[in-house]
Amino acid sequence: QTLKMMSMINISHTSTTTTSLLLLQAACTALFTWTIYTYLTYNTRWWWKRRASQKTEVSHQPHWEDDLIHGHVAPGWERVKQEFIQNFRTRGELGAAVCIYFRGEKVVDLWGGHRDCQARIWEEDTIVPIFSSTKGISAFALMMLASAGKVDLDKKVTTYWPEFAQNGKENVTVSELMDHSVGLAGIDPPITLQMLQEDQRHSSNSLLRNHLAKAKMEWPNAGDYKGYMAVMLGFYESIIVQLTEGSGQERSIGQYLRKEAFEPLHIADEIYIGLPDSVSNDRIAVIDGMAGLEPLWPTGAFPDNFMYNLLLKPSSYTARAFRNPQLSITPGVCDYNRRDVQRVEMPASNGLASARAVATMYNAAERAINTNGKVNSLRLSKDALDRFLQPAKPGKNNGWIDEVLGIEACMGAGLMLPPPEGYRGSGRFSATPAGFGTPGAGGSFGYCDPDAEIAYSYVMNRAGQLIVDDPRDFALRSKMYRIVQDIRSKEGGHLELNLEELTTPHYLAKRYMDAHPELAPLV
């Protein structure tokens, strides 16, 4: 009887083991099959494809081109509107706006789509987070103060902020601070959102100012490397503005620009650095972007290892640059939808604006340059304007490679500057070889190109994954430049634009558009 029972147990055990092996084999086969299927069918636009299937998408609505696209274009500029519509038709646009000035005249002012995924309409006065496009706006504050003789960009920061002379920063100049060469992008310990909120409650900047004064640079000397100050740049700039603006009130950069630039240009209700509670949520477009660990899935758009470093290596310089302050466990563009984040001033990253407002700022600079100061709403000096036009300088030890972004970048004077002559049209930099401004996360862009007599801005609420030359923005700019060239050809006597340079995208954008031909500009 005992032997019989042992035999039965043994058979049962063998049967269980066989079943387990069969289940394991089936699971491995299924996993292998899924892996092969995914490899063969994987589409790097997977996130966009998922969005395109939603019933609320703009292009799924009846008569959407007539009902959801608004604004005006001057005669001859219709091709920009065609690309704007194409953004919604094939490039995944949710809501967006574009504004272009040519020779001081507003020739394109378009807005359309939805301001959120619930299909609320993007209105004429809708504003949206513009991320690092804020940097270019903030740079105007320093240039205006320099024009007024209140700041010398070539003097040491300690001239205006003595406490800055800690941990090896005593010789850093204002100009070096603004060109991302000082290694202060990812300071440790990081600042916190609570620190910004506390300073705001007490109408001071003492907590932040003391914290930043103690920060140590990532490398020994300014200029050794370049490292994109994704969030930190604006805080340093704002402190210099507070200490030099001269009103006796120590106005922050947002407060200074509101009184000295936004109000005189009549755009004060369309651009904010530090959003007041009086602005209704009904005016704010909601960012729709990848969240959590979604960006780790290959898209073919981000620089190699960029998202891995940002999300999975918190000690990396890349991660620290975007976690100062850390707004969530896995930082991303959707953090900037929060009113507590929008309320504080983060002058390098959290501006909210319309395309119209951003283009108006750059139009002021373009007019000052091309009228030799006769039309100069912001009273910018020739020396200050020349700063905007000087090519950027590479790092001494890493050339043009940026330590945070992992790609080549030309940055200086607080914004993106033209690359040297030999690099223009190479695909190594953004397709703005003669202009200055800043792109923002997700695809926004604001800049002016004095050679083309252009001021331009594009803003959107569906975040793309390219750092520069998002296909939607690139298509609009490509048509813009071709129209300018057509106008000049008809007039005769004007220098021709180098359209090859101006319509050569960054190599990552080109790779992305080659993989997805529907994203390319219309022929």
Tokens of 215: 């920060």
Using an 8 Å Cβ cutoff, are 129 and 327 in contact?
A: no
| Dihedral of the alpha carbons of 340, 342, 344, 348, in degrees to the nearest 10 | 140
Dig out the tokens for 432 from the structure: 């703005």
Burial pattern 438-459, b for ≥16 Cβ within 10 A else e, equals bbbbbbbbbbbbbbbbbbbbbb
Domain positions in the chain are 79-523
In the structure encoding, which two tokens stand for residue 363, read together? Answer: 């139009």
Q: Does 418 sit behind a cis peptide bond, omega within 30 degrees of 0 on the bond before it?
A: no
Q: At what angle do helices 133-147 and 232-244 cross, to 10 degrees?
A: 20
Distance of alpha carbon 354 from alpha carbon 135, whole angstroms: 15
Taking the C-alpha atoms of residue 429 and residue 385, their distance in angstroms, rounded to an integer, is: 22
pLDDT of amino acid 39: 46
**Parallel, antiparallel or unpaired: strands 271-272 and 128-131:** unpaired
So what's the pLDDT on residue 266?
98
Q: CA dihedral defined by 257, 260, 265, 268, rounded to 10 degrees?
A: 50
How much is the CA Rg of the chain, to the nearest whole Å?
26
Would you say the pTM of this structure is higher than 0.75? Answer: yes
Query: Per residue of the chain (523 residues), what is the pLDDT tens digit?
Result: 554 554 554 555 566 677 777 777 877 777 666 556 554 456 789 999 999 989 999 999 999 999 999 999 999 999 999 999 999 999 999 999 999 999 999 999 999 999 999 999 999 999 999 999 999 999 999 999 999 999 999 999 999 999 999 999 999 999 999 999 999 999 999 999 999 999 888 877 789 999 999 999 999 999 999 999 999 999 999 999 999 998 888 899 999 999 999 999 999 999 999 999 999 999 999 999 999 999 999 888 999 899 999 999 999 999 999 999 999 999 999 999 999 999 999 999 999 999 999 999 999 999 999 999 999 999 999 999 999 888 889 999 999 999 999 999 999 999 998 887 777 778 887 756 678 999 999 999 999 999 999 999 999 999 999 999 999 999 999 999 999 999 999 998 767 888 888 888 999 999 999 999 999 999 8
Cα distances (angstroms) measured from residue 440 to each of 315, 460, 501: 24, 10, 21
Token pair of 413 as six digits: 């004077």
Short-list 132, 373, 96, CA closest to 231:
132
Q: Report the alpha-carbon distance of residue 94 to residue 63 in Å, rounded.
A: 16
Those residues with Cβ within 8 angstroms of residue 271's Cβ, 6 or more apart along the chain or in another chain: 127, 137, 262, 351, 352, 353, 354, 357, 358, 361
User: From the DSSP assignment, how many helices (H) and strands (E) are in the chain?
Assistant: 18, 11
Rounded CA gap, 395 and 220, in Å?
A: 13
- Residue 339 is which amino acid? R
CA 333 to chain centre: 10
- C-alpha dist (Å) from residue 405 to 159, 185, 215, 307, 309: 31, 11, 21, 10, 10
d(CA 142, CA 414): 9
Regarding the domain with residue range 79-523, which homologous superfamily does it belong to in the CATH classification?
Answer: DD-peptidase/beta-lactamase superfamily (3.40.710.10)
